[in-house]
Structure formats: C-alpha cells, structure tokens
Structure 1
Amino acid sequence: MGFISWSFIPVVIVVLVFSAFRILREYERGVVFMLGRFWKIKGPGLILIIPGVQQMVKVDLRVVVMDVPPQDVISRDNVSVKVNAVVYFRVMDPQRAIIQVEDYYSATSQLAQTTLRSVLGKHELDEMLAERDKLNTDIQKILDAATDAWGIKVTSVEIKHIDIDPTMVRAIAQQAEAERTRRAKVIHAEGEFQAAEKLVQAADLISKSPQALQLRYLQTMAGMANDKSNTIVFPFPMDLVTPFLEMMKKIK
C-alpha cells in the first residue's frame, strides 16, 4: 500500500501542473482571483493559474447580440402595442463585469426590457412608427449610461418590430387615406390658384397688344384643325366685330 501511495504522488503532481496552464483565445480574458481577492486580468494566450490558490473566470470580449423579448407598451395616446428589439453590447472592463454585477448578460437584458417600455411609453404611436431612429438612439444612450458601472458598452439598439392590434391597423389606414385625400385637395387648390394667377397675367399682357389676341386666335384654329372630331366650336373674336358695329352706329 505504501508503494502504491508514493507512486501516485507524481501522477497527482503532473495533473496539477497540466491543470495550471490555461489557453485563452484572442477575444477572451481571464479575471484571476487570489484566495478570493481580485488579483489581475490575464490573457490572451497561455497563462498559468496556481491550483487551489487562484481561480479564473473567463470573459468574452466580442460583441453580444441580445434579443429583447416582446414587451407590452401603452403609448402616450393610449394605444397598446407589442415591441421587440435587439441590443448590441460588449464587455469593456472584465473586472467590473464580473465583480460589480452577478450576471451582466441577464442584468443588461432586464434593464433593456424596462428601458424599452419606459421610453416608448412617453411617445405616441405615430412617433414610434416614424421616428424609430431617434427612439433607438434614446434607448441606447440610457442603456449605455446605466451599464457603464458594470464595464459594459452598449453600441446599438434596434427596434425590430412594432405589433399593432388589427382594429388599430384599420383605423390607421383610414387616417392615412383621409390624410392623402386632404393633401390631394390642397394640391389641387394650389394648382387652381397658380393657374388663375397665370391667366390674369396672360390677360393683362394680351390686353396691351391686340395683335397677340389675333395670333392666339389663329393658334386655336390650327389646334382645332388637327382634331379629328366632327364638332367644331368656332370662336369669333369681338375685336373683329367691334369695327363693324361702330360703323353701323355712325350710319344710323
């Protein structure tokens, strides 16, 4: 038995030596604790950890893509919608990410959900649909400021989908149709107003030169000649009739 126990010691030493060596990838860092107290951050590459004395927690420094579950949001104009988003963040300080918060991924997820509800609840539905970029920026700034103490950098927030109740979709469609009709009427009225202004200017210009009226008359006749219609409306200018009327008055 004594021979077996003494021969077992070299095996244990070899196992401890091999377990002391760790390999960390380029995007990984090791937060090392010495007897329970923070010691240093190691990596990447080959590092040495003293078994039983030092413990290491690996931290991934790559950008994490976190999907925020759909959240029930009531907008400022009392419209109930479901909104889901995606958050992009990464660990900037492995020490704070491990020491300051128990689970930085879960904490960031919960904070993103509450921030999404609180920010969108301050806006109307039209703003959620039309100003999505602005809302993304607002949410990103709030999350980034709140997670800075955890060594987390929130790089971007994107609202993926806003789910609206079907009845509300019909109401929005009717509102959009009414808005388009209003714009069409306004554009038509503006066109009529501009056309009236041009006609007044043209009338003033023609009244200063009778020859212009005759030329316009001839152009109208030429346009009517090109028309294949059987009905011809023959306008007779008053300027041609006026001399004869005056002559008749003199004769009388």
Structure 2
Amino acid sequence: MYIPYIVIAAIVLILLFNFFHVLREYERAVVFTLGRFWKVKGPGLIIIVPLIQQIVRVQLRTVVMDIPPQDVISRDNVSVRVNAVVYFRVIDAERAVIQVEDYFAAVNQLAQTTLRSVLGQHELDEMLAERTKLNTDIQKILDEHTEAWGIKIGMVEIKQIDLNESMIRAIAQQAEAERGRRAKVIHADGELQASQKLAEAAKILAQEPQALQLRYLQTLSNIGEEKNTTIVFPIPIDFISTFIKK
C-alpha cells in the first residue's frame, strides 16, 4: 500500500541529489544541455536539471605526471634511458573536455614522443651538461601543442639519464684523459712562465755584478742555516775577480 509512495520519494530524493552539486575551489563543471555545451560553472553550489543537463568535472590544480623511462639514441649514436616529470594544469575547462578525449593521457603520450625527439637531436655531452636548456626546449614544444586543449605546461624536468656500464667506463676514461691533458698544459705554462722570469732575472744580474754577488752571498747564508757537516759549493770566477781587482 505504501510501496508506491516509497518509490516516488526515492525518485524525488535521487532527482534532488542530482539537482544540486557542490564544487570545490579548484573544480569547475562543464555543463552540457541535451548534449550541447552550455557553460562552465563553479566553484560553489550549482544547480543542474536532471536528465536534461549533464556535467563533467575538471580540476584546475597543477598535475604532476611522471614520464616513464624512454629509450633515446643521441645524435652521436649513444643509447640511453631517460625519464622525466611534467607539471601542467588546466586553464580552460571547456577546451580540456571538448577538444580532447582524455587530456591526461594525451599529455602523457605527447610528452614521451617530444622527449625522445628533442633529446635525439643532441649529443650525449649536451644531454649531461645542458639539462636546463633541454628542459626549456621540451616545455616550449609541449606548451605549443597543448594550448589548443586548454592545458598549460608549467615545467618539465629531466630526472635521470641512465647509461650502460661500457659507456660509463668510456666516459670515465675520457674524463681521466682530459684531466691529464689539463695537468700537462698547466705544467707547461708554469715552465714557460718560470723560464721567462729566469731570463728577466739573468738580464738584471748581468747588468749589475754587485747584485749577483749579493745573491750568491744570500744563497750561502741560506745553506749555512741548515745543519750540514760538510758543504761543497762553487765559487764563480766573476765573484773572485771582483776581489782581485780590489
């Protein structure tokens, strides 16, 4: 007897439940009326006509998406595995729902292909040394493609570049050879500077014999300060001739 009333009450409650929707501050509702786009509503309390209107909720918060490791062959034919992270957010809820079926999956796939494409144009040394520039290049390309979807790419960060063991050993050998080359260059520069200074000193001493004698006496004084039992030292002919002339 009361069953029809209970059913009617349940239907009314369900309709009322679908009539009112509460959206958080970071949410928007894309409203469709009989399948046609009407407007974007929210946040707060919104009213939707059941069976006539439908909504699609969209979050405007920044999404952090991991890009799975990608096999990349660099321009100098080195195979590496690279993974990255992409930060993006929806800035136009209408386009994010209407222009692309699943914007999250679309951004993920586009990021993977762009990562391989951009890194494949650079050599391994550039990948390791110019990571900031590569991040910026990938971010710009992604941002240009996702603008039509109402998506803003905030930042792209390459997390890790993995090399195989043979390539790691080759890089280590190259670094060691580079350090050896720099050490030889520094040593040669030091020898050149020292020879130049010695040549300048020799010219000065040649012009002033008294300076040569003072330098010789200073050297003897330095030797005398050491506790040596026997000291053998040469006497320059010029030094003796100075005293003979006197």
TM over 0.5: yes
Residue 250 of structure 1 corresponds to none
SS of match in other structure, 2:50 = coil
Amino acid at match of 1:38: F
User: Per-residue CA shift, 1:104-135, capped at 9, x if unaligned?
Assistant: 01000000000011111111111111111111
Residue 142 of structure 1 corresponds to 141
1:24 equivalenced with 2:47 (yes/no): no
SS of match in other structure, 1:160 = strand
1:115 equivalenced with 2:114 (yes/no): yes
User: Per the alignment, do residues 231 and 217 of structure 1 end up closer, same or farther by CA in structure 2, a change over 3 Å counting?
Assistant: same
User: Per-residue CA shift, 1:188-229, capped at 9, x if unaligned?
Assistant: 101111111111111222222222212211221222123345
User: Per-residue CA shift, 1:75-99, capped at 9, x if unaligned?
Assistant: 1111111111111111111111110
User: Per-residue CA shift, 1:160-194, capped at 9, x if unaligned?
Assistant: 11111101111111111111101110111011111
Q: Larger deviation: 7-16 or 197-206?
A: 7-16
Structure 1: gaps (5+ residues): 248-252
RMSD (CA atoms):
1.9
Q: Is the 8 A contact 2:213 2:239 kept in 1?
A: no
After the TM superposition, which segments of 4 or more aligned residues of structure 1 sit over 6 Å from their partners? 244-247
TM-score (structure 2 length as normaliser): 0.93
2-structure distance, mates of 1:64, 1:228: 77
Residue 182 of structure 2 corresponds to 183
Q: Is the 8 A contact 2:95 2:149 kept in 1?
A: yes
1:244: Cα distance to partner?
6.8
SS of match in other structure, 1:217 = helix
Amino acid at match of 1:52: L
1-structure distance, mates of 2:231, 2:110: 79
Work out the percentage of aligned pairs sharing the same amino acid.
Answer: 67
User: Per the alignment, do residues 125 and 7 of structure 1 end up closer, same or farther by CA in structure 2, a change over 3 Å counting?
Assistant: closer
SS of match in other structure, 2:152 = strand
Aligned length: 246
2-structure distance, mates of 1:231, 1:137: 72
SS of match in other structure, 2:156 = strand
Residue 106 of structure 1 corresponds to 105
1-structure distance, mates of 2:189, 2:109: 53
